[in-house]
Amino acid sequence: MNLQMEKLKESVIEYINQQAQTYIDTSHAIHDHPEIGNEEKFASYLLCKLLEEADFTVERGVAGHDTAFLAKKASARKGPRIGFLAEYDALPGLGHACGHNIIGTTSVGAAIALSQVLDEIGGELVVLGTPAEEGGPNGSAKGSFVKAGLVQDLNACMMVHPGKETCITGTTLAVDPIDFEFYGQASHAASAPEEGINALDAVIQLFNGVNALRQHVKDDVKIHGIITDGGTAPNIVPDYAKARFYIRAQTRKECDQVTERVQQIAKGAAMATGAKLNAYFIQNKVDHIQLNRAFDRVFEEVFTELGEDVDTAHKPGIGSSDAGNVSQVVPTIHPYIKIGAETLAWHTDEFREAAKSPEGDKGLLQGTKGLALIGLRLLTEEDTLCAIKDEFTKRQAELD
C-alpha cells in the first residue's frame, strides 16, 4: 500500500475517532425515540442534520416517503458514485430490537468521514435514507428508491447490520406482502342464513387452500398469514373479512410463481363462497439479495484489518431485506457487525438492549470505520471496483 493511501486511511479513522461521541449520542438518541416505518421523523431529522453540517446536499421526502432522504456530496474531480444505505425504523412494541439506530448512524457517519478526503480522491458519496425496512403499509422504501430511479447511477452500494457475529452478506428470501379482502352479504346467521354471503368462509377457504399448497412447494418457500378481520358478531353473517399473507421464496422469480398460485387460490375461495375479492400488495415487493463475492472480499479484508474476526460463509437466510431490491440494480453488500453474544437473536428484548450497550457502541464505530474504508478503496482502486461490477454483470446474466 502506498504512503498516500495510508495517510488517507489514517485521516478517515482519526476523524471517526474524533466524532465518536457524536455518533454514539446519535445512535442512542434514535434508540431512545423508536419510531415505526414511515414515522421516523426524529431519526430522519437527526441524520439529515449531521449530513447538512458536513456540507452534504440533502433532499427530504423522496420516493413517496415523508421520512426518506437523499444526501449527496461530490468532489470537483470526477470518480465513482458510492451509495450508503441508512435504515432507522423501529419494530412495533419492541423498539430498536433490530439495531437500525446503529445502521443509520454507521452509514451516515461513514459517508461524512469519507467526505473529509473526497477532494483529494474524487468521486461522489450518496446516502440513501430509506424508511420502513421492517415493512408495513408503504413499507420497504428501498424498493421505492429503485422505482424512482435513485439507485441506478450508483457504482456500488453498502450498509452494515448489527448481529451476533461479524460476517459477510448472506442470502435472503424474496417476499410478497399481500392483503386479501373478501366482500359478502350480511344477514342474520340464525333466522336468514340463506340470505347471507359469508366473507369469513372465503378467508377460511383461502387458508385451507394455502395449507394444501404447502405440500407442493420447495423447502425455501415460506407462507405465513393472519386473519386481520373476521366479522363483528357470531349471529351476523360476516359481510367483510380480511387476511394478510407474507409469501417468501429463494428468488424473485420463484416468489412470483408462488404468489400467483396463492392469488389463484384466493380467486377460487371467492368463487366457492360467492364473495367478491380484492387482493393488493400493502408495500413494495422485496427481492432476494444478489451476492457479490468480490465485494465481500473487500469487506473481509477491511474488517479483518480493523481487528474483527470475519466469518466468510455465505450463510443461508430465512428472513428478508429490501437491500435485495438495490442489489438487483447495483452491486450491494449487506454484511454484519458483532454487537453481542453468540446467543443474540434479532427482534428480541435482548437485542434491543445490545443495540445501546458498550459492545453495541463498539460495533457502531467499527462499522462506521469499515464502511468508510471500503468506500475509500472503491473510490481509489479501479481494479477492485471493476471486479465487483464484472461479477455483478455475470450474476445478472445468469438470472436472465
Residue 186: is its pLDDT beyond 90?
yes
Q: Which residues contact 286 (CB under 8 A, 6 or more apart)?
A: 135, 140, 143, 174, 175, 176, 177, 320, 321, 322, 324, 325
Query: What does the pLDDT average to over 5-30?
Result: 97
Report pLDDT for 314.
73
Q: State how many domains the chain has.
A: 2
Mean pLDDT of 220-247: 96
Domain check: are 165 and 180 in the same one?
no
Residue that finishes a domain, picked among 238, 264, 281: 281
pLDDT of residue 400: 65
Write down which residue in 229, 252, 281 finishes a domain: 281
pLDDT tens-digit readout, 54-105: 999 999 999 999 999 999 999 999 999 999 999 999 999 999 999 999 999 9
Can you give the pLDDT at residue 296?
97
Q: Are 166 and 311 in contact (CB under 8 A)?
A: yes
Query: Same domain, yes or no, for 139 and 199?
Result: no
Query: Are 102 and 83 part of one and the same domain?
Result: yes
Same structural domain, 63 and 115: yes
pLDDT of residue 1 exceeding 60: no
* pLDDT the model gives residue 313: 84
Q: What is the CATH number of the domain that holds 360?
A: 3.40.630.10
CB 108 within 8 A of CB 102: no
**pLDDT exceeds cutoff 80 at 390:** yes
Q: Are residues 55 and 107 in the same domain?
A: yes
Tens of pLDDT, residue by residue over 279-291, are: 999 999 999 999 9
- Determine the Cα angle at 382 with ends 384 and 15, to 5°: 85
| pLDDT score, position 81 | 98
pLDDT surpasses 60 at 192:
yes
pTM for this one? Answer: 0.93
Question: Do 183 and 301 have their domain in common?
Answer: no
* pLDDT over threshold 80, residue 3: no
CA–CA dist 28, 354 (Å, integer):
11
Dist CA 168 CA 164 (whole Å): 13
| 23 and 33 co-located in one domain | yes
Average pLDDT over residues 149-159: 98
Averaged pLDDT score across all residues of the chain: 96
Query: The domain spanning residue 232 has which CATH number?
Result: 3.30.70.360
Rounded mean pLDDT, 152-164: 98
Instruction: Print the domain residue range for 309.
Output: 3-172+288-399
User: Can you tell me the mean pLDDT for 19-38?
Assistant: 98
Residues 58 and 161 in one domain: yes
Where is pLDDT greater, at 136 or 27? 27
Q: Which DSSP symbol is given to 377?
A: H
Would you place residue 302 in the very low, low, confident or very high pLDDT band (cuts 50, 70, 90)? Answer: very high
> 52 and 147, same structural domain?
yes
Residues 167 and 209 in one domain: no
In tens, the pLDDT along 338-377 reads 999 999 999 999 999 999 999 999 999 999 999 999 999 9
For the chain, what's the residue count? 400
> Confidence class of residue 136 from pLDDT cuts 50, 70 and 90?
confident
Choosing from 222, 253, 281, the residue where a domain stops is 281
In a shared domain, residues 130 and 267: no
Same domain, 159 and 186: no
Percent of the chain whose predicted confidence (pLDDT) is above 90: 94
